[in-house]
Amino acid sequence: MIYKFKITSQEVQNFVLEIEIDHEQTYLEFHNAIQETIGYDNSQMASFYQVGANDERGLEIALFEMNTEDDDNFNVVAMDVAMIREFVSSERPELIYVFDFFSDRFFNVQLIKKGISNAKTKYPKCTLSEGDAPEQIKMDAEDFEGLGFGEFESQSEKTKTADDYLADFDDEFNEGPEFESLDDYEDIL
């Protein structure tokens, strides 16, 4: 059985992508098909999320397994083990695909059709690609406002000598014996 997904963007109104994928394939294969079709760098973090009531994000299908053995977070599944049929159905036909974690930008992904696969066709397969996808990573000066980067010293202010650092220490802590070598310390013990 194949699933046909329609992928759209809220940023770029004329962007539409349709991909057919076998229900036994993984979300990693789906991720790679989206990335390859659009021309994105597939080494960037990405996740699919089920969409729940009131458009909240439910189960995360992440690019990498990030849970530890002690972690009880069952709300995250790795893309390479999650099959398409497991996390999408006619009752839950919508997902979102976050492709830019820094700016929380995503595509809307909707199951639009189920059908019978063609044995001669290699899936996943792009059946429609219209418009230009938004840029993958969007970082403007506005994204950094309020992060306090102005508080960091400039490179010229960072250049200090060893004497400059020693001058910052208070000499009032010279109470007690001074040692020139480890042998002097052993003599006191």
Is the pLDDT assigned to residue 73 strictly greater than 80? no
pLDDT of residue 180: 65
Taking residue 47's Cβ as centre, other Cβ atoms within 10 Å add up to 22
Whether 151 and 82 map to the same domain: the answer is: no
First to last CA, the chain: 80
Domain region containing 154: 143-188
pTM of the model: 0.70
Residues 25, 38, single domain; the answer is yes
Residue 15 CA to residue 166 CA, distance in Å, equals 60
- pLDDT over 70 at 166, yes or no: no
Cβ-based neighbours of 164, under 8 Å, separated by 6 or more: none
Co-location of 115 and 35 in the same domain: yes
Residue 99 or 188, more confident = 99
What gap in Å lies between CA 135 and CA 54, rounded to an integer?
28
The CATH number of whichever domain residue 24 belongs to comes to 3.10.290.30
pLDDT of residue 2: 94
* H/E element, 84: helix 84-87
For residue 47, give the 3-state DSSP assignment: strand
Examine the domain organization and report whether 103 and 33 are in the same domain. yes
pLDDT of residue 115: 92
| Cα(3)–Cα(22) distance, integer angstroms | 6
Same domain for 72 and 134: yes
Q: What is the dihedral of CA 47, 22, 116, 15, to 10 degrees?
A: 40
Confidence of residue 151 (pLDDT cuts 50, 70, 90): very low
